[in-house]
Amino acid sequence: MLVINFFFPRTCINCHLPGDYLCKSCKKLLTPHPEICPYCHKFSADYKTCLNCKTDRSHYLEWLIVVFSYQNLIKKLILQLKYYHKSDVANFLTDRLALAISTNKALSEKFKISYVPSHRFRHYCIKGYNQSKVLAQRLSEKIWLPWIYTAKKTRSTHTQAGLNRSQRLSNLENAFQIDAQKIWESDTILIVDDVTTTWSTINELAKTIKSQFPKVKIRWAVLARNNK
Ligand SMILES: [Zn+2]
Ligand SMILES: [Zn+2]
Per 3-state DSSP, the chain is made up of helix, strand and coil in percentages (nearest 5) of 40, 20, 45
Does 4 have pLDDT greater than 80? Answer: no
Whose atoms come closest to the Cα of 63: which ligand? 2
In a domain, 35, yes or no: no
Is residue 181 a part of any domain in this protein?
yes
CA separation for the pair 115, 94 (Å, rounded): 13
Domain count, the chain: 1
pTM of the prediction?
0.84
pLDDT band, residue 113 (cuts 50/70/90): very high
Ligand 1: centre distance to CA 12 (Å): 5
Question: 29 CA to middle of ligand 1, Å?
Answer: 9
Stretch 201-217: mean pLDDT, rounded? Answer: 88
CA pair distance 58, 101, nearest whole angstrom: 25
- Work out the burial of residue 83: count CB atoms within 10 Å of its CB; fewer than 13 is exposed, 13-18 middle, 19 or more buried: exposed
Residue 112 Cα, ligand 1 centroid: separation in angstroms?
A: 35
Assign 144 a pLDDT band (cuts: 50, 70, 90).
very high
Name residues with Cβ closer than 5 Å to ligand 1, which is an ion. 12, 14-15, 17, 23, 26
Which whole-number Å values give the CA distances from 95 to 3, 59, 127, 185, 193, in the listed order?
Answer: 26, 29, 24, 29, 14
Weakest mean pLDDT among 4-8, 58-62, 98-102, 169-173: 4-8
Spacing of C-alpha 21 from chain mean position: 22
**pLDDT at residue 157, as a whole number:** 67
What CA–CA distance (Å, rounded) separates 217 from 76? 32
User: Is 106 inside a domain boundary?
Assistant: yes
Count Cβ neighbours within 10 Å for each residue of 136-154 and write b for 16 or more, e otherwise. Answer: bbbbbebeeeebbbbbbbe
Instruction: Please write the tens of the pLDDT for every residue from 17-33.
Output: 998 888 999 999 999 99
Q: Note whether residue 13 is domain-resident.
A: no
Contact predicate 22/77, CB 8 Å? yes
Report the separation in Å between the CA atom of 55 and the middle of ligand 2, taken as the mean of its atom positions: 10
When pLDDT is cut at 50, 70 and 90, the band that residue 55 belongs to is: very high
Q: In the prediction, which pLDDT does 161 show?
A: 63
Q: Does the residue 194 lie in any domain?
A: yes
Mean pLDDT of the chain: 84
Q: Please, how many CA atoms are within 13 Å of residue 150, restricted to the half-sphere of its CB?
A: 35
**Spacing, Cα 219 to ligand 2 middle (Å):** 15
Task: Classify residue 42 by its DSSP letter.
Answer: S
Considering every ligand atom shown, identify the ligand nearest to the alpha carbon of residue 24 and give its number.
1
Q: What is the pLDDT of residues 58-88, one digit of tens each?
A: 888 888 899 998 788 998 999 888 887 778 8
Expressed as residue numbers, the domain containing 125 is: 67-225
CA of 58 to the centre of ligand 2 (A): 13
Cβ atoms of 47 and 105 within 8 Å: the answer is: no
- Residue at 4 is within a domain: no
* CATH number of residue 106's parent domain: 3.40.50
Q: What spatial distance separates the first Cα and last Cα of the chain, rounded to whole Å?
A: 41
Query: Is the pLDDT reported for residue 221 higher than 90?
Result: yes
DSSP state at residue 137: H
In a domain, 40, yes or no: no
The predicted structure's pLDDT at residue 24: 92
Q: Residue 155 domain-assigned? A: yes
